[in-house]
Amino acid sequence: MIAQKATILCLCEILKKYSDENHILSAEKIREKLKIIYDVDMERRATYRNIEALRSLGIEIEGYQDNREGYYLIDREFELSEVRLLCDAVAASDMIKEEAGKVIIKKLIDSQSIFQERMLQKTVFVKSEKKIISKH
């Protein structure tokens, strides 16, 4: 069982992985995912308090009062279009070995929700036979 003080981090991870502007989570759905994934029982009011605590830390979370549906994480390190651009740049680079490129692309894709990850995984490819340019 996760320590009570760590549950806010679990809630933040739920929002990061399972929400975006097209996939809005109700407080009840957040609580269900917390129980299934982390075995955390969070009261409804505690869910609201933790979301407010995350907001007070500067994490942008759209909420029910904004959209009348639920919550989703607005604040991401990279926008979807930026991730796509960076993935394409890594995939096209002759300076990055194939295995290193795959690792970098995975990190970039993991910064998005699972729904955006699925879309990106279908469209991003690392070409084989990359050559590393060396100075002789």
Owning domain of residue 95: 80-123
Does one domain contain both 38 and 99?
no
User: How many domains in the chain?
Assistant: 2
**Predicted confidence (pLDDT) per residue in 80-128, tens digit:** 889 999 999 998 888 989 899 999 999 999 999 999 988 887 777 655 5
In a domain, 131, yes or no: no
- The residue ranges of DSSP E strands in 30-95, in sequence order, are 61-62, 72-73
Does one domain contain both 89 and 64?
no
What CATH number does the domain containing 44 carry? 1.10.10.10
Does one domain contain both 64 and 119?
no
Integer angstrom CA distances of residue 118 from 41, 73, 81, 82, 121: 29, 18, 14, 16, 5
**Predicted confidence (pLDDT) per residue in 9-67, tens digit:** 999 999 999 999 999 999 999 999 999 999 999 999 999 999 999 999 999 999 977 77
Residue that terminates a domain, selected from 55, 73, 91: 73
In a domain, 16, yes or no: yes
In the Cβ-directed half-sphere of 8, how many Cα atoms lie within 13 Å? 14
Q: Are 132 and 94 in contact (CB under 8 A)?
A: yes
Rounded average pLDDT over 6-10: 93
| CA–CA gap between residue 75 and residue 79 (Å, rounded) | 9
Does one domain contain both 62 and 99?
no
Does one domain contain both 63 and 89?
no
In a domain, 13, yes or no: yes
